[in-house]
Amino acid sequence: MPYLSKYGLIKACGTIEQAFKSLVADRCSYRARAQIKNYLTKMVRNSSSNPSFGNICKLLKSFDSSWNAAFKDAVNNHASSNSLKTSLQSLVDTRNEFAHGGNPRVSIGDVRRYFHDARAVIEELDWVVG
């Protein structure tokens, strides 16, 4: 796996992880007390969590079950629903394989496609919590 693909993979997955956690934490911290903001920083923003569809749903459900339901509906009703979920999971799985010493077979083109689709998932999340 060339260096650019490895770098792109780590950067893409990390960006999606930060995006989903920041969207939820930002929404919940708006006008919140300092204690709530501290909690969100510690337990959401600074936590380590793969940006899988299941983990995003789990985080949403821990704050608001209607957010979780609306997010699932939004992604499931998207014209490219299967592709979005598959790409997001491929991004996570490939990153995990590389991070744990494996040598995944992925091109920079694959990483770009995974990221593009994962970004669409984040856009749905933004619409739901926004």
Q: Report H helices in the chain.
A: 3-29, 34-40, 53-63, 65-76, 81-99, 108-129
Kindly report, residue by residue over 76-93, the tens digit of the pLDDT. 999 999 999 999 999 999
φ, ψ for residue 106, nearest 5 deg: -145, 140
Kindly report, residue by residue over 40-79, the tens digit of the pLDDT. 999 999 999 999 999 999 999 999 999 999 999 999 999 9
Taking Cα atoms as reference points, which of 121, 128, 102, 119 lies closest to residue 15? Answer: 119
Structural domain that includes position 11:
3-129
The residue whose two tokens read 């999606």 is 16
Task: Check residue 1 and give its pLDDT.
Answer: 57
Per the structure, the count of domains in the chain is 1
